[in-house]
């Protein structure tokens, strides 16, 4: 882990990885959405509305995955003072917020024809909304202080406290009586979705994960470049 604390070493690694993950993103999303829109069948109950699932479900997975990643990066930053951990959390937060927002929007679009309402204070929907607000709070704290280190620490503490919401999102449909259907993919007894729908869903999910990796690497690189420019400006001011 500490090998990549050096910004130059991290940048070299990122430059090697980026072309592969960028191409992988395009291929996975192209194949996944082609299968989802043109090959997979309509659901016998939901009809064509089921195709919203191919965006909604991977977005929800990514929103939770990225937040857990932010919490891990925050713990690393607080405990080991890893210089890139804070940057990774900062770079990830807007991406995770985007996925959480997309989850809420697509869930609302699906809920209207299926449940007859745009919104319901269901356990999973409400906890996903809380996750979106946690992302907004994390981004706000990062920019709330003139001293960036204070912002990083405050945001890291929020990320660690807020991670308790993740199991609530995951298990709310099992713990409480809820409108949201139970888990149908990540089950101990195996997925209950037909392979003709499961494979497009998993390929789109892979595309979303590669997209996240592409964007977060680019954002960390841009943060490192910005920090280098600020250091150069400060050196020039002191030299003058």
DSSP output for 27-69: HHHHHHHHIIIIISPPBTTTBGGGGGHHHHHHHHHHHHHHHHH
Residue 29 in domain: no
Q: Is residue 210 part of a domain?
A: yes
Angle between helices 195-239 and 7-34 (to 10 degrees): 150
Distance CA 208, CA 1 (A): 25
Torsion sign over Cα 25, 189, 128, 117: positive
DSSP 5: G
Percent of the chain with pLDDT over 70: 88
HSE-up of 210 (CA within 13 Å, CB side)?
21
Query: What residues form DSSP beta bridges with 43?
Result: 47
Q: Is residue 59 part of a domain?
A: yes
Domain residues for the domain of 221 are 54-176+194-239
Note down pLDDT in tens along the chain; length 240 residues: 566 667 888 899 999 999 999 999 999 999 999 999 999 998 877 888 889 999 999 999 999 999 999 999 999 999 988 879 999 999 999 999 999 999 999 999 988 887 788 888 887 889 999 999 999 999 999 999 988 899 999 999 999 999 999 999 888 766 666 666 667 776 656 677 888 989 999 999 999 999 999 999 999 999 998 888 877 776 776 665
**pLDDT of amino acid 221:** 93
3-class secondary-structure state, position 220: helix
Q: How far apart are CA 153 and CA 73, in angstroms?
A: 12
CA pseudo-torsion sign 53, 55, 60, 62: positive
Distance CA 206, CA 21 (A): 11
- pLDDT at residue 30 in the model: 98
**How far is residue 226 CA from its own chain's centroid?**
24
Q: How many domains does the chain have?
A: 1
Answer whether residue 198 is part of any domain.
yes
C-alpha distance from residue 39 to each of 24, 42, 51, 117, 184 (Å): 21, 9, 11, 29, 20
Q: Is residue 146 a part of any domain in this protein?
A: yes
Q: How many CA atoms lie within 13 A of 137 on its CB side?
A: 16
Residue 209 half-sphere exposure toward CB, CA atoms < 13 A: 12
| Domain-embedded: residue 181 | no
Q: Is residue 10 situated within a structural domain?
A: no
Structure-block tokens of residue 237: 């001011």
Residue 183 maps to a domain: no
Residue 110, φ and ψ in degrees, nearest 5: -75, -35
Terminus-to-terminus CA distance in the chain, angstroms? 38
């Amino acid at each position: 882990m500490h090998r990549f604390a050096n910004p130059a070493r991290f940048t070299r690694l990122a430059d090697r990885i980026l072309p592969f993950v960028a191409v992988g993103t395009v291929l996975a999303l192209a194949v996944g959405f082609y299968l989802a829109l043109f090959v997979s069948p309509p659901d016998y109950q939901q009809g064509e509305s089921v195709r919203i699932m191919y965006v909604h479900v991977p977005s929800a997975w990514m929103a939770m995955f990225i937040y857990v990643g932010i919490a891990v990066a925050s713990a690393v930053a607080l405990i080991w003072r890893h210089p890139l951990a804070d940057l990774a959390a900062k770079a990830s937060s807007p991406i995770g917020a985007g996925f959480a927002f997309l989850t809420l929007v697509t869930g609302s679009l699906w809920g209207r024809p299926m449940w007859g309402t745009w919104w319901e204070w269901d356990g999973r929907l409400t906890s996903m909304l809380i996750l979106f607000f946690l992302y907004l709070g994390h981004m706000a704290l990062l920019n709330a202080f003139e001293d960036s280190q204070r912002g990083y620490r405050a945001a890291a503490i929020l990320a660690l406290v807020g991670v308790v919401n993740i199991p609530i999102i995951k298990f709310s449909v099992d713990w409480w009586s809820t409108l949201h259907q139970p888990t149908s993919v990540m089950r101990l007894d195996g997925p209950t979705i037909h392979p003709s729908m499961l494979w497009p869903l998993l390929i789109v999910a892979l595309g979303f994960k590669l997209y996240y990796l592409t964007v977060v690497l680019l954002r960390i690189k841009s943060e490192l470049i910005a920090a280098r420019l600020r250091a150069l400006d400060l050196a020039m001011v002191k030299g003058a």
